Structure 1
Amino acid sequence: MTKKGLENSSTKVVPKGNVIIATRVGIGNSAVNLIDVAINQDLTGVIIDTSKIDPFFLVWYLHLPRVLMLFELFSRGTTIKGIPKKHLQELYVPLPPLPEQKKIAEILSTIDKAIEKTDALIHHYQQLKNALMQRLFTEGIGHTRFKPSPLGQIPAEWDVVKIGDIIEFAQYGLSIKMYDEGQYPIVKMDSIINGKVMPVNLKYVDLDEETFNKFKLEKGDVLVNRTNSYELVGKTGIFMLEGDYVFASYLIRLRPKEDIIDSAFLTYYLILSQDRLRQIATRGVSQANINATNLKKFLVPLPPLEEQKKIAQILMTIDNKIEAEMKTKEELEKLKQGMMDKLLTGKVRVKVGEESG
């Protein structure tokens, strides 16, 4: 924005090294501006006294959950909510000595940088996995001869088959009232995470022995989300949990024939093919549906069983790396929240300079 433009508008310039707070849209978001910044009415510039408070310390304090909750309580308005300036001015901020403030901000920023590096690693492995899936499911491992197929070019030794030819059966899940407690955990569509059935978001059902045996999940079962939004329909995960689980009606259970198809190979291929799965879905107003009949007609490549297992193992190795980094990120997030609560409230003091020796 030009100087003349600034003079003729309501926009204000916040000199670098101060703090900008979102007081209308995105209420509570805050950051230190590293350059002079022109702001509009959705933002408030806080010009600070740097002899008393470090801007980065202030931003970290403003990110405390309790402070963000206060911002929500302070907000006024119907269509667009905003925080009145007087409420912002009334916000109390703890003021440890300036060197301690800087040290606290440095500690928290170090954790944040570790989280960013972990995020970058997760992204790298996900990109690598996507590239490997594209290559392995079209080129296989070590092939030199290829042939055209309904799925495009594939290794000459591979076949193309319908899902119905490589499974024992396809089965819809239970349509039954669920409870927070009960006899058996029931897997729902939101229990499928990153290609696996996870023991999360579970409900419980009480069943007689015959019904339980009919719907009991076995290791290696492949679950496909048959009813969801168009973007999520076809989401697939493999069941490998210990214990007695059953599954809900919005899922289709595929029981692969072990002597023909590897469960993990099939799962990874269906994950790669979610766009194609959407094409066989029937679209409604807000949801899409894949029926078992159409799913059994869905075409998949069929390498020799040993090669299937090798392909699945390569992808599982990458998945293990992703899961390890995600766990590291989760631990770092917990550490950050814990350190914020302790350091920014004075529960734990930070020694600086000679005092730390």
Structure 2
Amino acid sequence: MDIPQGYKQTELGIIPEDWEVKSFSQVFDMYPNNTYPRDCMNDSYGAIRNIHYGDILIKYPTIVDVERCSIPYLNEDVKIKAQKFVQSGDVIIADTAEDETVGKCVEIKNAINAKIVSGLHTFFCHPIRIFAIGWWGYYLNSSNYHNQLLPYITGIKVSSISRASIQETKLLVPPIAEQKAIAEALGDIDGLIATLDKKIAKKHLIKQGAMQQLLTGKKRLPGFSDPWVERKLGEIGVWVKGQSLSKNDITPNGKNICIHYGELFSYGEVITSPISRTNSQPITISLGNEILFPDSDVTPDGLGRCSALLMKDVIIGSGVNILRHNPLYDTSFVSYSINANRSKIIDRVTGTTVKHINSKELSEVVIEIPKNKDEQIAIATMLNDMDKEIDDLEAQRDKYRLLKSGMMQKLLTGQIRLKIK
């Protein structure tokens, strides 16, 4: 293999000549953590804050800015043992997860005046010398590093990794000026992603408020004054069951468009373009303007929602209750209305380990509908416009996430070098 000028071959691959390869133990001291469970914490008050592994896995960003990030407090009655407080630049690693996300970490920033401890199922890692803030947070969360952890992960239902295994891993260490430049570049794109996340969350709240007003008749759109009526779902259409269709029947080159039961949980209120395909014989196909409900799930909440399918000739798989409604009702409106009344469906769910809902129970669910179909369409159009705006923001955010992933792959291995000011 040809090695480019200015690069060298190492056990971690080809890297810049002025980068180093260090063992984890050469870079970090590992301090004791505590083992306090979630019920020893609160979000309101206390003298000491606690970083719990669950928050590392699902809540915190890569760089936890103590001045901006909400970190729970230990309850005042918790008698903490002698434990070092976390400092800026320290790394806290989750040693347990339900999947291969074990090993995810956060780096701490702006912890000068804070009392923070490393909590349950974490490794508390303190760098032996000074590094640029952000470098280790991004590097240790990269796929390049995490791939080293995979052979060491143990467990079936719960995955974990040992302290000794972490210490055996190898780390790339660029010059500190380059660490700083890389961390700043990745931090900038994280800032863009965070801004979009806030916009998306705000748009969801606006939509939720609009649904509460528009789908109950509390707020009427201009030009409409006709009364609303209550209708049971069984009164507005007939029920059909989907045909036998397993995941094995789905193929990228299939000649027929289809919807598999499991996909319903990822669709929104309106399905405009299903993407799965199958070669299965079309038995139950959509006639256009139908409402689809999953008939089973492990949680009742998953059964409290539906999706409107506007397309014709789509094969509908098993595990789906299909409502083919009267033309007097707008499909999108009915879907939005049902999803705004999810509790009425959840109340009718049966089962223990696996939850179920059948068409008989769904038929008894009551929703409010404007008599004037034009009003139904106007309300659905407004809500659909809000959904499109959210979809556009989410697509933009996903592009930034993809860009960040590519940047991490190149920058954190030295394949692309940044100009240092």
Please indicate the TM-score interval, normalised by the length of the shorter structure: 0.7 to 0.9
Shift of 1:75: 4.5
Return the match for 1:195 from 269, 275, 278: 269
Q: 1:183 to 1:302 in 2, by over 3 A?
A: same
Select 1:206's aligned residue among 280, 298, 312. Answer: 280
Q: CA deviation at 1:255?
A: 1.9
- Pairing partner for 1:29 from 104, 123, 127: 104
Q: Tell me the distance in 2 between the aligned counterparts of 1:93 and 1:175.
A: 51
1:319 lines up with 2:397 in the alignment: no
Distance in 2 between the 1:42 and 1:32 partners?
A: 13
Percent pairwise identity: 21
Letter in 1 for 2:397: K
- Give the number of the structure whose residues are more often strand, by fraction: 2
Over 3 Å counting, the alpha-carbon distance change for 1:247 and 1:115 in structure 2 is: same
1:247 to 313, 316, 321: 316
Structure 2 residue 411 is matched with structure 1 residue 352: no
Q: Tell whether 2:225 aligns with 1:171.
A: no
Q: 1:135 aligns with which of 191, 194, 213?
A: 213
User: Does the 8 Å contact 1:19/1:30 carry over to 2?
Assistant: no
- The runs of 5 or more residues in structure 1 that have no matched partner are 3-7, 146-154
Does residue 1:218 correspond to 2:287, yes or no? yes
Per-residue deviation at 1:17?
Answer: 2.5
TM-score by length of 2: 0.70
Q: Which moved more, 1:134-143 or 1:75-84?
A: 75-84
For residues 241 and 153 of structure 2, the distance between their equivalents in structure 1, rounded to whole angstroms, comes to: 47
Aligned residue runs from structure 1 range 255-274, under 5 A: 255-258=324-327, 260-274=328-342
Q: Is the CA contact 2:270–2:332 (under 8 Å) kept in the aligned structure 1?
A: no
Q: Give RMSD over aligned pairs.
A: 3.0
Mapped contact 2:94–2:105 kept (Cα < 8 A): no
2:402 corresponding residue in structure 1: 334
Q: Decide which structure has greater helix share.
A: 1
- Aligned amino acid, residue 287 of structure 1: V
* Deviating more after overlay: 228-237 vs 317-326: 228-237
Distance (whole Å) between structure 2 residues aligned to residue 161 and residue 205 of structure 1: 38
1:222-247 alpha-carbon deviations (Å, 9 max, x no partner):
11122223221132011135x74211
Partner of residue 295, structure 1: 362
Offset at 1:143? 8.3
The aligned counterpart of 1:231 is 301
- Pick closer, same or farther for the CA change 1:310–1:77 going to 2, 3 Å: closer
Cα distance change of structure 1 residues 318 and 80 upon mapping to structure 2, 3 Å threshold: closer
Task: Report how far residue 184 of structure 1 moved.
Answer: 2.9
Q: How many residues align?
A: 327
Match of 2:173, SS state, is coil
Shift of 1:194: 1.7
2:198 to 120, 127, 150: 120
Unaligned runs of 5+ in 2: 1-46, 49-79
User: How has the CA–CA distance of structure 1 residues 200 and 310 changed in structure 2, closer, same or farther, with 3 Å as cutoff?
Assistant: closer
